[in-house]
Structure 1
Amino acid sequence: MTPLLTLLYEGCRPQDARWALLGDTTMPYWDWTMLLVVFAYTAMQAALYYLPFGQVEHRGKDEDGQVLRYNINGLHAFVISSALLVGMWSGGVFQACRITGRIYSLVCACYVLSFLIATLLYLHSFKKQPFSQTGPLLRDFALGKDINHRVFGIDMKHFFMVRIGFMGWGMVITCYLLAEIEKDGRVSLPMLLVVTFQLLYIVEFLLDEASVLPTKEFTQDGIGFLMIQGEYIYIPFYSSTAAFFLLQRPVQISLPSVFLICLLYGAGFAIYYISNGQKNCFRKNPSDPAFAGLRTILSPSGQNLLVSGWFGWVRHPNYLGDIMMTWAWTLPCGFSSVLPYIPAVVCTNMLRERANEIEEACEEKHGEAWKEYCRRVPYQLLPNIY
């Protein structure tokens, strides 16, 4: 992942001498200060995990039969973190350019810290499972040995997914926006679109934070180096490539283009939000009167499969909405370079592959009922196309 990030950032190199105002134009690969920044952010989020706000979810049990407890207060922690960041910037204590001008160092610091944390969690896992019962060392280190690894009452997977991945993404794009103000004295329309779209996506995720708990990634996958590195690097930096590109290569955008991009994002957001809401509510209470008019198929597993509503349109409408939003916050970059579009292409392919994985699992679980569903709803993502 790091070589790909290097390619992206090299392709975004500024052509404007004003960039010298932002500090290092050489983008140093290592700065001990950035390691302290990442460590401090991680420690702060660990402390905010114990905020007496939000709600508490109880899902599943650990090896000892104890019910697992999750603090669902990510939105509160995000508001506090964002207010602290903007407040320090407004008071002159913090300069966003000190972060954005050392992105290589920040990414490398995240890589180092994620490696150290993964190593500590791997060693800690031997308290539960003797070495003789483990699998290949490299595989266990990369993919993780435990699914529900907890330290001081904090579920590590939940912590890294929400506090480091999504909230870190929000912190990074906020720094890009503040750095543009430092550089140009204003916020450009393309940057405003990108940051607004991504912040709305992040806030929506945090509003429905508990929805991550029943997902396949959360309930079946281990927590190892690959997962931790992805939350420290892939989500915050790779996902924010469009904002970084605009910070260094500003573009102009016409009002008709703004309207069309907003329309694309709005439609994607509506599809994503409403279809996810329908899916989650149906899972919790299939007999809810709100679903009385929807057609279903009874599965041998005892569950019902929706074959109307959003999931009668395509089989994965939530992924379609996700893809539309990703392209909407990339289009403000214009077409002077292909580089800011790489994350959108990768995201589209990743969600397509994830849809295939889900369908394989559903066919194994639901058998003929799933085949009948696919017959009635023949398209995965795009009606009449794919």
Structure 2
Amino acid sequence: MDLGILLHALTPSLDSVAILVTFFTYLAIFGSILPGKVVQGVVLRNGTRLHYQCNGLLSLLLLVGLLGVRARMNFISPAVISHRGLELLSTTFIFSVLVTLVLYVAGSRSHNQGSSLKAHITRNLIHDWFFFVRAGMMGWLLINLSILAKSVLDGLLSRSMILYQTFSALYILNYFAYEEYMTSTWDIIAERLGFMVGGFCVTSWWLLRNKVELTTAAVIANCIVFLIGYLVFRGANKQKHMFKMNPKALIWGKPPKVIGGKLLASGYCSSTAFYHLNESVNFSICDWHCYYLGDLLLALSFSLPCGISSPIPYFYPIYLLILLIWRERRDEARCAEKYRELWAEYCRLVPWRILPYFY
């Protein structure tokens, strides 16, 4: 592509700004007024607690329905996002940089000279729950649906595109169906909100421009990877919540094995992960090692429909692997310092970090 054409395509337009503003406005308004279960978040380090209104699935379905009606009435093109992909990318990038700068300035002026785990400028609007869970996941589905619409309109719909779209849609819908589980994850309760690389949609963009013919065996293998990833991902998350609500709850039909009354070594935790029960408040924190395995398998299943002709569609699973290995090492150092002898005992019983018998 000519450099001039590329720069022109990357230049934000009023339409791209309007699309982004409309999207965030919808999330802010309907995320506040739609009914949903209010879940009490965990106690943060500063002693405060956030509350989350879990209406994400309803909000997502309503948004898709409204856009579908508008597309049916020819008010908008169902492929509008795919038509304006590059300018929306640059618009979102600029917006993300501005939000990051606002957070940096706010953090530098706070009493602890750092970013906050609790939104204090816009109450509950600007925090991980809004940007990571809502904007990120819903935006991913909208981009995918727009690319799907363009592939249908252009007569380029392939088995690979159908496979990717099915996997990602199931993952996103399931994600919001169990939205409550996100309230105790590390991304929400401990990670600082800021600039972060995202690569969810690389696969769909690549498939739009590259035709891949998959064999039946490849499709079946891809489905197996997705299914295993989903079972590990959802199963580990469910066990975490069971342990959070009741540390004595049965896991796989048996009483949980707990080391020192704090570290869970049962179920999925018996092979690749652990949960630990915070001493000061009644909740559990999952340090996700088995959760990581499920996440990685799911990420891989999103890229496998592209075959092996190019490394580009595998950007997201590669990026996620690097990120999770770094995070796992950080988690281990933190827990080794906190639990000392208990952690050494846990590592003796559960020697594998993420993938049993390999790592």
- Read off the aligned partner of 1:187 and give its amino acid letter: L
Matched, 1:80 2:62: yes
1:201 match: secondary structure: helix
Question: 1: CA distance between counterparts of 2:352 and 2:49?
Answer: 39
Counterpart of 1:159 (choices 126, 130, 133) is 130
Deviating 4+ runs (over 6 angstroms): 24-27, 61-66
Do the aligned partners of residues 381 and 123 (structure 1) sit closer, same or farther apart at CA in structure 2, a change above 3 Å counting? closer
Matched, 1:355 2:328: yes
Aligned length: 340
Question: 1: CA distance between counterparts of 2:307 and 2:326?
Answer: 27
Equivalent runs, 1:89-128 vs 2, <5 Å: 89-121=71-103
- The Cα of 1:30 is off from its aligned counterpart by 1.0
TM-score (normalizing by structure 2): 0.85
CA-atom RMSD, angstroms? 2.7
For 1:368, the equivalent position in structure 2 comes to: 341
Counterpart of 2:9 (choices 14, 18, 28) is 28
For 1:211, the equivalent position in structure 2 comes to: 181
For 2:267, the equivalent position in structure 1 comes to: 309
2:34 match: secondary structure: coil
- Read off the aligned partner of 2:30 and give its amino acid letter: L
Cα deviation, 1:173-229, whole Å, max 9, x if unaligned, reads 111111111111x632111111111122212221222222223332233334x2xxx
TM-score (normalizing by structure 1): 0.80
Give % identity.
25
- Segments of structure 1 that go 5 or more residues without pairing to the other structure are 1-9, 14-23
Bigger shift: 169-178 or 363-372? 363-372
Question: 1: CA distance between counterparts of 2:104 and 2:336?
Answer: 34
Matched, 1:191 2:128: no
Cα deviation, 1:327-347, whole Å, max 9, x if unaligned, reads 111011112211111221111
Question: 1: CA distance between counterparts of 2:358 and 2:299?
Answer: 19
Cα deviation, 1:129-163, whole Å, max 9, x if unaligned, reads 3xxx564xxxx5xxxx2211145542421111222
Matched, 1:149 2:82: no
Equivalent runs, 1:6-85 vs 2, <5 Å: 28-32=9-13, 33-59=15-41, 68-85=50-67
Do the aligned partners of residues 352 and 345 (structure 1) sit closer, same or farther apart at CA in structure 2, a change above 3 Å counting? same
The answer to whether the 8 A contact 2:82-2:150 is kept is yes
Question: 1: CA distance between counterparts of 2:252 and 2:316?
Answer: 36
Counterpart of 1:344 (choices 314, 317, 321) is 317
Matched, 1:334 2:307: yes
Question: 1: CA distance between counterparts of 2:131 and 2:89?
Answer: 16
- Segments of structure 2 that go 5 or more residues without pairing to the other structure are 274-288
The answer to whether the 8 A contact 1:51-1:73 is kept is no
The answer to whether the 8 A contact 2:251-2:266 is kept is no
- The Cα of 1:104 is off from its aligned counterpart by 1.6
Question: 2: CA distance between counterparts of 1:35 and 1:358?
Answer: 39
For 1:19, the equivalent position in structure 2 comes to: none
Cα deviation, 1:48-82, whole Å, max 9, x if unaligned, reads 11133111122356899775322111111111111
Do the aligned partners of residues 147 and 253 (structure 1) sit closer, same or farther apart at CA in structure 2, a change above 3 Å counting? same
Matched, 1:379 2:337: no
Equivalent runs, 1:230-241 vs 2, <5 Å: 230=196, 234-235=197-198, 238-241=199-202
Question: 2: CA distance between counterparts of 1:221 and 1:57?
Answer: 19
The answer to whether the 8 A contact 2:252-2:267 is kept is no
The answer to whether the 8 A contact 2:249-2:256 is kept is no
- Read off the aligned partner of 2:27 and give its amino acid letter: Q
For 1:17, the equivalent position in structure 2 comes to: none
For 1:4, the equivalent position in structure 2 comes to: none
- Read off the aligned partner of 1:309 and give its amino acid letter: G
Q: Which has the higher contact order (CA 8 A, sep 6+)?
A: 1
Question: 2: CA distance between counterparts of 1:61 and 1:306?
Answer: 20
